[in-house]
Amino acid sequence: MQRLLEGYRAFRAKRWPYEKQHYEELAEGQRPKTLIIACCDSRVDPATIFDARPGELFIIRNVANLVPPYSLDGGLRGTSAAVEFAVRKLEVETILVLGHAQCGGCMAALDHTIGQDMVFLRPWVALLEPALERCAHEADPLTALERESVKVSLENLRAFPFIADAMRDRGLKLEGARFGVADGRLEILDWAAGAFQFVT
Ligand SMILES: [Zn+2]
């Protein structure tokens, strides 16, 4: 907590003075144009990677940047609820699913190292199972699965009826990317080629 309070004081001293007016405007309401679905991983902060100001990005973070399949089973679905809010209320223009290198969630899925006692994590990471087979025979299965985790989420997003409607009616765009922690490079999913290409 001490480190957090030091950080807060630094924010108030250095950043607040020049962001004050911006925050006052944001207090009237947020209008982010982009929803980012990223991993919880502490090394992959979307606001840092995209050099974003407060109010620019609506961000959902969970283990392995996953969107579960559309379901009305009555379960409490935090990711789906936030996606619904971003698309139907905020009317974001773009959804970006952001995967990353050295993803612990993808590693655990590949190696089947999540114990039975991990009662929430185990079924969550099992969302990657459809992608596991597609990656098993790749030269670099982890990188392949990190890319596939993005595709799994995009496929699930497209099956949400209100997302399909927004894509058709107002041009909502779905994009995918993967961030390299060690080299800081970003690769983007090229829909036409079905492959990821580095941003130059
Ligand atoms: Zn991760």
State the pLDDT at residue 119. Answer: 96
What does the alpha-carbon distance between residue 105 and residue 121 come to, in Å, rounded to a whole number? Answer: 9
182: left (phi over 0), alpha (psi -120 to 50) or beta: alpha
Residue 74 pLDDT grade (very low, low, confident, very high; cuts 50, 70, 90): confident
Give residue 96 CA to ligand 1 midpoint distance, Å: 15
What's the whole-number mean pLDDT along residues 36-53? 98
State the pLDDT at residue 136. Answer: 82
Give residue 180 CA to ligand 1 midpoint distance, Å: 11
- The answer for residues whose C-beta is within 8 angstroms of residue 129's C-beta and 6 or more apart is 109
Three-state DSSP at 199 gives coil
What does the alpha-carbon distance between residue 196 and residue 184 come to, in Å, rounded to a whole number? Answer: 15
Give residue 101 CA to ligand 1 midpoint distance, Å: 8
Domain hosting residue 194, numbered range: 31-198
Give residue 59 CA to ligand 1 midpoint distance, Å: 15
Q: What is the pLDDT of residues 134-191, one digit of tens each?
A: 898 899 999 999 999 999 999 999 999 999 999 999 999 999 999 999 999 999 999 8
- The reply to whether 26 and 78 lie within a common domain is no
Give residue 112 CA to ligand 1 midpoint distance, Å: 15
- The reply to whether 15 and 89 lie within a common domain is no
- The reply to whether 80 and 167 lie within a common domain is yes
Give residue 35 CA to ligand 1 midpoint distance, Å: 18
8 Å CB contact between 131 and 145? yes
Give residue 177 CA to ligand 1 midpoint distance, Å: 13
- The reply to whether 22 and 91 lie within a common domain is no
Give residue 41 CA to ligand 1 midpoint distance, Å: 5
Ordered strands of the 94-100 beta sheet: 57-62, 34-39, 94-100, 173-179, 186-190, 195-198
Residue 16 pLDDT grade (very low, low, confident, very high; cuts 50, 70, 90): very high
Would you say residue 194 has pLDDT above 90? no
Within 13 Å and on the Cβ side, how many CA atoms surround 32? Answer: 21
- The answer for residues whose C-beta is within 8 angstroms of residue 37's C-beta and 6 or more apart is 59, 60, 61, 62, 65, 67, 79, 83, 95, 96, 97, 98, 153
- The reply to whether 116 and 20 lie within a common domain is no
State the pLDDT at residue 1. Answer: 97
- The reply to whether 90 and 158 lie within a common domain is yes
Would you say residue 200 has pLDDT above 90? yes
Residue 131 pLDDT grade (very low, low, confident, very high; cuts 50, 70, 90): very high
State what percent of residues in the chain have pLDDT above 90: 92
- The reply to whether 111 and 163 lie within a common domain is yes
What does the alpha-carbon distance between residue 104 and residue 183 come to, in Å, rounded to a whole number? Answer: 18
Would you say residue 53 has pLDDT above 90? yes
Give residue 123 CA to ligand 1 midpoint distance, Å: 16
Would you say residue 117 has pLDDT above 90? yes
- The reply to whether 3 and 62 lie within a common domain is no
Give residue 18 CA to ligand 1 midpoint distance, Å: 33
- The reply to whether 147 and 54 lie within a common domain is yes
Give residue 14 CA to ligand 1 midpoint distance, Å: 31
Give residue 20 CA to ligand 1 midpoint distance, Å: 33
- The reply to whether 13 and 99 lie within a common domain is no
55: left (phi over 0), alpha (psi -120 to 50) or beta: left
- The reply to whether 12 and 100 lie within a common domain is no
What does the alpha-carbon distance between residue 108 and residue 40 come to, in Å, rounded to a whole number? Answer: 15
What does the alpha-carbon distance between residue 197 and residue 176 come to, in Å, rounded to a whole number? Answer: 11
pTM of the complete model: 0.96
- The reply to whether 21 and 39 lie within a common domain is no
**How far lies 43's CA from each of 38, 39, 154, in Å?**
11, 9, 22
Give residue 128 CA to ligand 1 midpoint distance, Å: 12
Count of structural domains within the chain: 2
Would you say residue 14 has pLDDT above 90? yes
State the pLDDT at residue 196. Answer: 97
CATH of the domain at 135: 3.40.1050.10
